[in-house]
Amino acid sequence: MLFLLNDMVLDLEPAKLVPPRMAGHLARLSMGQVSTLVREVFAHNPRLPASHLTLARRAAVMLVMKKPELNAALFLTPGRVCEPDDVSVRFATLGAEVLFQLKHIQDQGRLTPGAVNALVWSRAGPRSAAG
């Protein structure tokens, strides 16, 4: 399954990324709590997908486990390490063709934040609440 996290398309295999004991814990959390956890990770590491791919994949899987229809998330920080409340978030459900197009561009080494914004976030609905 493809998932757009900020400006990187991740290929997810949830069963391999979330151990059973973690899945059980995750099932007890609300979407707001999961979003807060991911915001905390981004607050400490604003370039998460580029700097820690495994953690980025786990964050994406957590979001998908709570809302299976999601396949894109944008976590924006002020550009530096910050407080979790300073991280804004947007979610989207993209068509498969858009995700495959983004993955193709990424595989060619041409996927940039500007391209993702033009193809996805500038067209998406309003920002989601942070929590």
Is pLDDT at 131 greater than 60 in this prediction?
no
Helices within 5-128 (DSSP H only): 14-17, 20-27, 31-44, 48-51, 53-66, 96-107, 113-116
* Residue 14 pLDDT exceeds 90: no
Structure tokens at 59: 């964050």
pLDDT > 70: percent of the chain: 89
Which of the 8 DSSP states describes residue 29?
S
Distance CA 110, CA 91 (A): 23
pLDDT digits (tens, 9 = 90+) for 69-82: 999 999 999 988 89
In whole angstroms, how far apart are CA 75 and each of 27, 87, 108, 116?
22, 6, 24, 13
| pLDDT mean across residues, the chain | 89
The residue-averaged pLDDT of 57-76 equals 93
Residue 129 vs residue 65, higher pLDDT: 65
